[in-house]
Amino acid sequence: MEPSGIVTLTTDFGWEDVYAAIMKGVILGIHPGATVVDISHGIRPGDIRQGAWMLEESTRFFPAGTVHLAVVDPGVGGARRPILVCTESSFFVGPDNGIFWPLIEAAGEATVIHLTSETYFLPKISRTFHGRDIFAPVAGHLARGIDPFDIGSPIQNPVRLELPTVKRSKDAVVGEVVRVDRFGNLISNIRRRDIGYLSCLTGLKVTIGGLTIRGISGTYSNVPRGEMLALLGSSGYLEIAVNQGRASALVGRNGDSEGIPVRVSPA
């Protein structure tokens, strides 16, 4: 696989501190011609599951040969391994804590490499900033075209991440809210393919937090301003929204809506 020269960053570093910028500096110091793209630095601190959802939703839209660098790493400096995941179309660099597990599963065939060759790390490795000292330099070298097998050896037991599953019965599909975006939309883990067997979309109802929504809309403006609706979002997942409002303010407690069950059934 030829590298595209693109490196993406997904972290829980936020925008106030210098950590993400430092990693960009390391990458560009190794490969000045790289194109560095921020996917998100707004992952909640240490929230591996949220990082995994962000990667699953976004990375498939990048060109083949892109290097995706993800640092949501509460176990930094501990026993967890630094890894590189090679799929048919992409490279993923980061900690072996499950953040890449959904992508490994979706790929069908993937090679996972334990990063061990310090030749491709920075000379001094901090126990608290492997994003700078291990992952960023490896990403830079990969973007330049280094052979992944020069950086370490394949492993067969990457850490798995337990994600909520969608449950299907004869007359209902039940999932849950897995993410709340900045607009307050509640993104569930239910896809179109999960509910297609129930009925046509307009003949369904969605129940969440004691509220019932009749039908699945095509867009936010299908309902009056301030009204709640359900729709299949741009990434193919069922979401609960409010036209020009925030569904997260209506569902959940103290603004926390993640984990709340979402049920789809015939109307």
Q: Return the bridge partners of 261, or none.
A: 176
Per-residue pLDDT at 254: 58
Global pTM value: 0.90
Using DSSP's 3-state secondary structure scheme, residue 55 falls into helix
Q: Which pLDDT score, from 0 to 100, does residue 108 have? A: 85
Q: What is the pLDDT of residues 137-160, one digit of tens each?
A: 999 999 999 999 999 999 999 999
Phi first, then psi, for residue 73 (nearest 5°) are -140, 65
Contacts of 32 (CB under 8 A, 6+ apart): none
Rounded to the nearest 5 percent, the helix, strand and coil shares of the chain are 25, 30, 45
**Cα–Cα distances in Å, from 128 out to 78, 93, 125, 153?**
9, 17, 9, 24
Which pLDDT does position 1 carry in this prediction? 82
Residues 49-91: pLDDT tens digits? 999 999 999 999 999 999 999 999 999 999 999 999 999 999 9
In degrees rounded to 5, what are phi and psi of residue 15? -110, -5
